[in-house]
């Protein structure tokens, strides 16, 4: 058996693992790369396999960094089954067509602009038709029930507790008289988060392919409900709006759950709450109609409120663009939740443009912000940002509420792995920025005494039973220039991380120097992106 790491390798997004067993091939996840232009450029590259040769896909969950390139896979020849849970299929039915619409719109805009400059015609990465064809290939499987994916490969989907429908994959591979047990974690949720069940216990495994999004961090133990109430109360007192860039799937529903709780307990005023995202509207509807995935507390509330999880009179869902634009013309303080969660696209840009410059307003980030995203720039303290072609001053109060993350942190992951009946032979640490992946790999090796490896893009591990061997990326080996550039960019990445840590120290002492360092960081990031364009 071979596993090739074709995404989320020393970066957070683009999860994709190619598994070869005999003559058969399958994928675990086929995600889109998100963040800076440097990272997004990978979406445009050809797959490092023939999509028509892939026999099946197993999908951990619906987030587009795990599912987003499935339409491209189908467009280029894949026609096999895509296995996932019921809620994952339902969420993908809104996420994939929406992503395709963005691809079509971006291509149309580029072509209108490019025609005037005499540039080549731009094809969308994939279309809505491609997304709909992909959705027809989905095959729903229940949690906890074993099924065969390809000959010799049996899979059980277990509760991952990340978002509705999310699973980690328990895989058993049989080759001749050799058997290998593997875990692909996908994204693992925090225990005790609202609405959905905690991650299931891990079964024995020989190898674990683990995420590491928060592999070098521990979520702060603080009263996040109290902080959320304080932010709302303070902003309302100033007469401003609370703007929340919220991921349409997962984060929006959790925030609504908390707002309902705080209002019912009299801890915050009943100001209008707008969910301004067609995708979030539909995702919320899916969440509200899948009570079988609720935890005990959510099920009790669901029954008490007449089989409704969220029942607030002040809650408004907007559908049209006209309704969205009218929100900022509505007098009085309000709460606006809008996608995207990293503020790099969607209606949230419109709301930031109208509120970010107002000192009476607040902007609350309640989730991970990838390198290069607008959200990351704002929480890193930049004083001006460009939104929809216009330079906007950052005068609103900025909050970064990390406690709302849907990802388990380092200690939670370590506790989860430490409870395994036996330690694996090795952990392959993926889906994290390089500092997070390396930190978690080091922690796993020291605390559990197991081998660890942080793969590069294109690396392959060959497994026979419980024996394993890593083969370095043939892509890099075949292109010495690429190897040189890779080392150079990694060196720049380390410098960038160092500068970022310096900012945290400087900003408390001298804001003018912090601005100077931030400008240098921005120049460094743009330089890295320009290098990629020249390849």
Q: Judge whether 18 and 4 are in contact, CB under 8 Å.
A: yes
Best mean pLDDT range from 15-19, 254-258, 287-291: 15-19
Q: Judge whether 195 and 165 are in contact, CB under 8 Å.
A: no
Higher pLDDT, 38 or 189: 189
**pLDDT for 508:** 47
Find how far residue 128's CA is from the centre of its chain: 21
In the structure, what pLDDT confidence band is assigned to residue 517 with cuts at 50, 70 and 90? low
469-501 in b/e form (b: 16+ CB < 10 A) is eeeebeebeeeeeeeebbeeeeeebeebeeebe
Close Cβ partners of 277 (under 8 Å, ≥ 6 residues apart): 246, 248, 252, 337, 338, 339, 346, 347
Find how far residue 500's CA is from the centre of its chain: 22
Return the half-sphere exposure (C-beta side, CA atoms, 13 A cut-off) of residue 300.
Answer: 4
Predicted confidence (pLDDT) at residue 163 exceeds the cutoff of 90? yes
The average pLDDT across 420-440 equals 94
**pLDDT for 514:** 59
Predicted confidence (pLDDT) at residue 481 exceeds the cutoff of 50? no
Return the half-sphere exposure (C-beta side, CA atoms, 13 A cut-off) of residue 106.
Answer: 13
**pLDDT for 526:** 64
* Strand 56-58 versus strand 24-30 pairing type: parallel
* Strand 207-210 versus strand 426-429 pairing type: parallel
| pLDDT, mean over the chain | 88
Upstream peptide bond of 340 is cis (omega within 30 degrees of 0) = yes
Q: Judge whether 518 and 27 are in contact, CB under 8 Å.
A: no
- Per-residue model confidence as pLDDT tens digits over 305-317: 888 888 899 999 9
Higher pLDDT, 341 or 414: 414
In the structure, what pLDDT confidence band is assigned to residue 473 with cuts at 50, 70 and 90? confident
Helix 480-506 to helix 511-534 angle (10° resolution) is 170
**pLDDT for 477:** 43
**pLDDT for 535:** 44
Return the H-helix or E-strand segment holding 171.
Answer: strand 167-175
Close Cβ partners of 505 (under 8 Å, ≥ 6 residues apart): none
- Per-residue model confidence as pLDDT tens digits over 227-275: 999 999 999 999 999 999 988 888 889 999 999 999 999 999 999 999 9
**pLDDT for 512:** 58
Q: Tell me, which fold does domain 2-217+406-472 have in CATH?
A: Metallo-beta-lactamase; Chain A (3.60.15)
- Assigned token pair, 66: 């795990």
Predicted confidence (pLDDT) at residue 533 exceeds the cutoff of 60? no
- Assigned token pair, 116: 């005037």
d(C-alpha 520, C-alpha 515), whole Å: 9
Q: What letter does residue 81 receive in the DSSP assignment? A: -
- Per-residue model confidence as pLDDT tens digits over 39-60: 888 899 999 999 999 999 999 9
- Per-residue model confidence as pLDDT tens digits over 383-397: 999 998 899 999 999
The average pLDDT across 163-190 equals 97
**pLDDT for 345:** 77
In the structure, what pLDDT confidence band is assigned to residue 521 with cuts at 50, 70 and 90? low
Q: Three-state DSSP class for 361?
A: coil
**pLDDT for 247:** 81
**pLDDT for 141:** 98
Alpha helices in 213-277 (DSSP H): 224-238, 251-264
Point out the least confidently predicted range of 78-92, 366-380, 513-527. 513-527
- Per-residue model confidence as pLDDT tens digits over 333-343: 999 999 887 88
* Strand 397-400 versus strand 362-365 pairing type: parallel
Q: Judge whether 229 and 268 are in contact, CB under 8 Å.
A: yes
> 427 φ, ψ to 5°?
-110, 135
Domain spanning 224-404: CATH 3.40.50.10890: yes
**pLDDT for 520:** 65
- Assigned token pair, 291: 């009570």
Predicted confidence (pLDDT) at residue 431 exceeds the cutoff of 60? yes
d(C-alpha 185, C-alpha 179), whole Å: 20
**pLDDT for 280:** 87
Close Cβ partners of 101 (under 8 Å, ≥ 6 residues apart): 128
**pLDDT for 479:** 40
Return the H-helix or E-strand segment holding 363.
Answer: strand 362-365
d(C-alpha 146, C-alpha 293), whole Å: 19
d(C-alpha 206, C-alpha 198), whole Å: 23
**pLDDT for 497:** 52
Return the H-helix or E-strand segment holding 433.
Answer: none
d(C-alpha 228, C-alpha 421), whole Å: 39
d(C-alpha 343, C-alpha 352), whole Å: 9
Q: Three-state DSSP class for 138?
A: strand
Return the half-sphere exposure (C-beta side, CA atoms, 13 A cut-off) of residue 370.
Answer: 26
> 468 φ, ψ to 5°?
-145, 150
Four-residue CA torsion sign, 348, 349, 352, 353: negative
Close Cβ partners of 254 (under 8 Å, ≥ 6 residues apart): 193, 194, 195, 404, 406
- Beta-bridged to residue 121, according to DSSP, are none
């Amino acid at each position: 058996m071979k596993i090739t790491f074709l995404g989320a390798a020393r970066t957070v997004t683009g999860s994709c693992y190619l598994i070869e067993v005999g003559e058969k091939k399958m994928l675990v996840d086929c995600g889109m790369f998100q963040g800076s232009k440097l990272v997004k450029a990978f979406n445009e590259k050809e797959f490092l396999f023939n999509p028509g040769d892939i026999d099946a896909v197993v999908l951990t969950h619906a987030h587009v960094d795990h599912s987003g390139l499935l339409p491209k896979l189908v467009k280029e020849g894949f026609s096999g089954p895509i296995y996932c849970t019921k809620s994952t299929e339902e969420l993908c039915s809104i996420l994939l067509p929406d992503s395709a619409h963005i691809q079509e719109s971006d291509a149309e805009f580029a072509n209108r602009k490019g025609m005037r400059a005499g540039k080549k015609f731009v094809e969308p990465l994939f279309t809505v038709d491609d997304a709909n064809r992909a959705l027809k290939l989905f095959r729903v499987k229940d949690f906890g029930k074993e099924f065969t994916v390809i000959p010799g490969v049996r899979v059980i989907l277990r509760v991952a507790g990340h978002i509705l429908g999310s699973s980690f994959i328990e895989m058993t591979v049989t080759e001749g008289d050799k058997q290998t047990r593997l875990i692909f974690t996908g994204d693992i949720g925090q225990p005790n988060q609202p609405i959905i069940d905690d991650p299931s216990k891990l079964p024995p495994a020989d190898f674990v392919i683990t995420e590491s999004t928060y592999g070098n961090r521990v979520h702060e133990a603080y009263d996040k409900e109290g902080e959320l109430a304080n932010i709302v109360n303070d902003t309302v007192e100033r007469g401003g709006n609370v703007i929340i860039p919220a991921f349409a799937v997962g984060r929006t529903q959790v925030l609504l759950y908390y707002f309902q709780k705080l209002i019912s307990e009299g801890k915050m005023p009943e100001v209008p709450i707008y969910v301004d995202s067609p995708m979030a509207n539909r995702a919320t509807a899916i969440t509200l109609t899948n009570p079988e995935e609720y935890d005990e507390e959510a099920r009790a509330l669901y029954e008490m409120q007449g089989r409704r999880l969220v029942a607030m009179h002040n809650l408004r869902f907007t559908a049209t663009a006209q309704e969205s634009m009218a929100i900022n013309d509505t007098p009085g303080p309000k709460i606006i939740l809008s996608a995207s969660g990293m503020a790099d696209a969607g209606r949230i840009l419109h709301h930031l443009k109208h509120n970010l410059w107002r000192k009476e307003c607040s902007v609350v980030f309640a989730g991970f912000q990838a390198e290069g995203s607008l959200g990351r720039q704002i929480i890193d303290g930049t004083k001006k940002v460009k939104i929809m072609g216009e330079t906007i001053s950052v005068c609103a109060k900025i909050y970064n509420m990390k406690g709302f993350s849907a990802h388990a942190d380092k200690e939670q992951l370590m506790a989860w792995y430490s409870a395994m009946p036996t330690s694996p032979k090795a952990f392959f640490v993926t889906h994290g920025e390089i500092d997070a992946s390396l930190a978690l790999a080091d922690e796993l090796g020291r605390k559990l005494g197991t081998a660890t490896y942080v793969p590069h893009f294109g690396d392959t591990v060959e497994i026979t039973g419980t024996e394993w061997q890593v083969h370095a990326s043939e892509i890099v080996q075949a292109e010495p220039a690429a190897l040189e550039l890779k080392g150079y960019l990694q060196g720049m990445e380390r410098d960038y991380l160092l500068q970022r840590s310096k900012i945290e120290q400087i900003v408390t002492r001298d804001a003018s120097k912090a601005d100077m360092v931030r400008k240098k960081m921005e120049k460094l990031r743009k330089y890295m992106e320009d290098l990629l364009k020249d390849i």
